[in-house]
Amino acid sequence: MSSEATGGRIQPADTIAEFQQAAVARLADARALRSRERDYWAVYTLGYAVEMHLKIAYFRLFGLRETEDARVALRMARPWAKQLGITEPDRNLHGLLFWLKLILIEREFASRPLPSEWANKMLSCVQRVASHWLPEMRYRAPAEGTARFRRVVAATAWIVQNSRVLWN
């Protein structure tokens, strides 16, 4: 995350480069948590890694360069999604299905659709992670961590390995 001098507050990541570093860090965090049998929080961390990969794909589709400020693109996402008729909730811009649908529909709109079979595979993986990565996790006692982890780890790996197809 970039940091600014103003009041010592940490500002949200502003660039693709920062998001990429953060995504790598979140995956490392998830591995560290898993090694300490903190599977529930490993899942929580994996969700963020997926979110960042999807946002990176959206920024690239938007035409941003690595070190370009992404905040405009972020602010445009909600109204653009509304124009495209996307009904998936954005969940304060953390919605994984929201970001994926935005990418897929934007590509269809621009006459650059992805092959259906591939798109549906990506959708299935994001759906798997999204249905186990919920905001209320942070307020609950850890439960079913290992089962959750097993359900999402393969899907996360597939998303991370294949996310660049979303903007190519």
Partner 1 sequence: MDLIADELLVDSGQKPSIKYDPPDLAPQIYIEDRGKNRLHVTVIGSFWEDVLEVQRPAIILDAFRKAGRTQVAEQISIAMGLTPGEAEALGMEEK
Which parts of this chain interact with partner 1 (CB under 8 A)? 85, 87-89, 91, 95, 97, 101, 104-105, 108, 111, 113, 116, 119-121, 123-125, 127-128, 130-131, 134, 155
Sequence-ordered alpha helix ranges (H) in 67-144 = 71-83, 96-109, 116-130
Q: Which residues contact 67 (CB under 8 A, 6 or more apart)?
A: 15, 16, 17
Residue (66 or 108) nearer to partner 1, CB: 108
Find the shortest distance in angstroms from Cβ 128 to partner 1.
Answer: 5
Find the shortest distance in angstroms from Cβ 13 to partner 1.
Answer: 24
Q: Which of 133, 137, 134, 168 is nearest to 153 (CA)?
A: 133
Q: d(Cα 72, Cα 69) in Å, to the nearest integer? A: 7
Find the shortest distance in angstroms from Cβ 84 to partner 1.
Answer: 9
Residue (25 or 123) nearer to partner 1, CB: 123
Single-letter code of the amino acid located at 93: L
